[in-house]
Amino acid sequence: MNGIERVRDALTGAFPEATVEVRDLTGTGDHVEARVVTAAFEGKGLLERHRMVYGALGNAFQGPVHALMLKTLTPAEAGTNPRAMRARTSA
């Protein structure tokens, strides 16, 4: 399993109702962007959302991934922010 799959699996396991999109930013599998849209982020600030994601990732960083860019949104934010709605995924 590559790093992108590890990140995706960890996030979908922790946030089963979420929309999770993960993409490789460099083509080398070590710099990853993850976009997570879930109601679990309602009422939470950016730092708390990122802590939730990093907590969910656990050992996903024991491998090639060493850089992660996060986009953490509630469903309402994803629905009203055109920039956030850009679907960007790759495996």
Question: How do residues 37-70 score in pLDDT, each as one tens digit?
Answer: 999 999 999 999 999 999 999 877 677 777 889 9
Residue among 85, 84, 91 at smallest CA distance from 22? 91
CA gap 71, 84 in Å, rounded: 8
Whole-model pTM: value is: 0.80
Given a contact cutoff of 8 angstroms between Cβ atoms, the answer to whether 23 and 2 are in contact is no
> Using 50, 70 and 90 to split pLDDT, how confident is the model at 6?
confident
DSSP-derived 3-state class of residue 63: coil
User: Would the pLDDT of 88 be above 60?
Assistant: no
